[in-house]
């Protein structure tokens, strides 16, 4: 279904136009299409009084190719009580899309300036807290995503590396100040 304030919707795949259907008020501002799945892109273009009004594209997710880590900040302070950084970990395809069906274990290497304090993913009701310092931590990625909390231990340039067999590695620098 394509919902639009336009009056006509055209649907196209990578090879060209599949179909055009009326939307508008008479059809509750919706155009419905039945299309067999095939990998690639599917684009809906809405028209209003003959002019292009809006468009949206859906793309198939490919196979897992890389890990990616994105922190909410890159600087921690030893003087701030309970300072921590939250790091989102994702598994991506070759187009940079999250592979939502990826359920894999990722091994994190952690430099001496940092400690992974907690681990979470969509399969657990609460985050798991890690009680002791570890140079290597295993994280279960569920539905292509996981999250870790990192705390400072020592001043300097800290690093977290993410490794998973068959995937491109990622590395993150988090600076720790006194």
Taking 90 as the threshold, does the pLDDT of residue 129 lie above it? no
pLDDT at 126 over 80: no
Average pLDDT in the chain: 90
Distance, CA of 74 to chain centre: 19
Half-sphere exposure of 155 (CA within 13 A, CB side): 5
124 vs 155: CA distance, rounded Å: 32
> What's the pTM value of the predicted model, to 2 decimals?
0.76
pLDDT per position as a tens digit, 2-49: 999 999 999 999 999 899 999 988 899 999 999 988 889 999 999 999
- At 89, list the tokens: 């970990």
Q: What is the DSSP letter of 124?
A: -
The radius of gyration of the chain's CA atoms, rounded to the nearest angstrom, is 23
Contact (CB, 8 A) for 46 and 149: no
For residue 151, count other CB atoms closer than 10 A to its CB: 17
pLDDT, tens digit, 9 for 90 and up, residues 57-84: 999 999 999 999 999 999 999 999 889 9
**In DSSP terms, which residues pair with 126 in a beta bridge?**
none
- pLDDT above 80 for 96: yes
Q: What are 40's two structure tokens?
A: 């690639």
Q: How far apart are CA 43 and CA 37, in angstroms?
A: 13
């Amino acid at each position: 279904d394509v919902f639009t304030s336009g009056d006509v919707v055209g649907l196209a795949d990578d090879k060209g136009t599949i179909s055009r259907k009326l939307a508008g008020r008479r059809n509750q501002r919706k155009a419905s299409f039945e299309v067999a799945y095939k990998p690639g892109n599917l684009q809906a273009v809405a028209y209003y009084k003959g002019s292009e009004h809006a468009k949206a594209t859906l793309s198939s997710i490919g196979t897992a190719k890389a890990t990616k880590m994105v922190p909410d900040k890159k600087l921690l302070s030893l003087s701030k009580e309970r300072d921590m950084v939250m790091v989102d970990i994702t598994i991506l395809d070759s187009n940079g899309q999250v592979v939502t069906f990826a359920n894999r274990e990722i091994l994190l290497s952690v430099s001496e300036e940092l400690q992974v304090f907690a681990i979470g993913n969509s399969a657990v009701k609460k985050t798991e807290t890690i009680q002791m310092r570890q140079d290597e931590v295993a994280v279960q990625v569920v539905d292509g995503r996981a999250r870790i909390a990192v705390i400072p231990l020592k001043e300097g340039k800290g690093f977290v590396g993410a490794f998973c067999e068959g995937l491109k590695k990622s590395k993150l620098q988090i600076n720790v100040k006194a």
